[in-house]
Structure 1
Amino acid sequence: MVWFNNATLFRLTDAPDAIRLSEALAKRPFQPCGGLDWFSEGWVPPAGHLEAPVYAARGSLMVSMRREDKVLPASVIRDFVEMKVQEIEDKELRKVGRKEKLALKEQITDDLLPRAFTKSGCVSAFMSGSWLIADTSSAPRAEALVSKLREALPPFPAALPRTKIAPHTAMTDWLAAGVAPGGFELDEDAVLKDGSENGAEVRVRRIDLTSDEIRQHIATGKQVAKLGLIWNEKIRFQLTDTLQLKRIQFLDVLQDEASQASDDRESLFEATFILMSEELGELVEALVEVLGGLEESQASAPIPGPAKADEEIPWPM
């Protein structure tokens, strides 16, 4: 499925060309880790039925980066080093020094690495208008995806958005007032933090956020770090003080609309992606608006034109 669960946002100042981007990413496909590699990153098709690394539909582009990491716990390396040190000391009747231990550790690591288990995962993202939205709640993973895009198609100007009103300030005000502005409404979960040295934290779930109990926490100086919101009765999510969207749920009205598009896999994927990208893009624009808009340096940036949805994306060679 193509429904995003999280959203880390980047502001684009130039629209990537669909064909150029696809050709660039096709030159950097994902390859499994080599013998002495600790990790590997590369581009894969955004869905199993696709072959190109870029999927284009109605002005939006979707990409997916796969990363594979070797799993070699430090404790395993330490055990092998200790065994080797003991073997040398017993056999040669001498003490193994620090430098020799470091050399042994490096040698043993190189010996074990080709046999290590691996773990892998994908981070998908779509670009639409002036936004890149990555399906991850991990800032380092999102930054890694943008860095790989820069490598493939430099300079690829993308930056974390900065709004005139800080998210924690706005969320605290909304909770104090018991209402959110625009098409947003308070949900039933929040995280409030005390800015003092003790760093007290309060997590609430399935509770009326307009209750006196919540207002009392705000009255004692706590600020909202995460807040559950519902947008236009279509999307439920948790907004963070770093302007990330977590635990995104596309409600039944959207999922039903997508499922009615077609029964075959290709058409369903296209309908779901178009609906998801357009609705999530509108949500982001509405969210930025209720946060006072972007700072002048970002608001004045040229808005890129949409990618051509009818362009044919070349298959990778």
Structure 2
Amino acid sequence: MTSETRETFGRVGIWSTALHPSRRDHAGRVALVEALAELEELNYGTLWIGGSPSPADAAAVVAATRTVTVATGILSIWDHSAEEVAARIAAFDTSERGRFVLGLGVSHGPMVPQYAKPYSAMVAYLDALDDAAEPVGPEHRVLAALGPKMLELAADRALGAHPYLVTAEHTAEARTALGPDALLAPELSVVLDTDPDRARTTARSMLAMYLQLPNYTDNLLRLGFSESDFDGGGSARLLDALFALGDAERVRARTQEYLDAGADHVALQVLTAEEGGGGLPRAEWCELSGVFADVL
């Protein structure tokens, strides 16, 4: 990966399930377009459309922005065929294609009835993207990768990896597995709240669902956590390792831990007590941009 590619992603981006035009009514889509314009003005490097976006969602966000890199985080390979995805990306104009990155993942067995042989399924999907009438090559895609095999595939067949719900320690291990040249862009969830108990309550409201998914719990067990850390929505030890909890300066310090561990880019997911991850926390996005002004 070139330094130009790293510059395209920037050091810090925004990850949000709220960046789904298809899940909004007309007023909601208007609000989203306004928020996207503001995020561009704040100079975040990449906007990650979280929570299994569709190709149509990606196209709409790309069309509503001008210069920022847009990535899916993560499009499920079970929901949309490679041919469908490649055709939709081929419809982008040249400048749009240049700033769009296709983030792909295998999702989770409990969520996908047809889930089987996820690694082989991903390899076949990448082959289909390469063989499409308008190919979507490795330079335009990243993989949701946690374990060694998928990380190796991300280094071999994509720009790199976009791990979700990981610690800084995992980031260091992922950098070793990927090698020095592949992109490493982990997600980091953020709660801007200086009350520790309240911040952890907000974090647990998001984390509880993910602790039901073996891909995540198996990865956390590999990192040295125990089953008891999953009780009650997550132990304090687990929450403090997975989240940035506190004020904006604390978020900056936690983000730096991931960058120091080998991340090229960190995608910040802002959670609020009112909205969880589903709202448009524009005030928080603006506040965070201030502490990252030197890298945005």
- The structure with the greater share of residues assigned to strand is 1
> TM-score, structure 1 length as denominator?
0.24
Structure whose alpha-carbon radius of gyration is higher: 1
- The structure with the greater share of residues assigned to helix is 2
> TM-score, structure 2 length as denominator?
0.25
Q: Which structure carries more relative contact order (alpha carbon 8 Å, separation 6+)?
A: 1
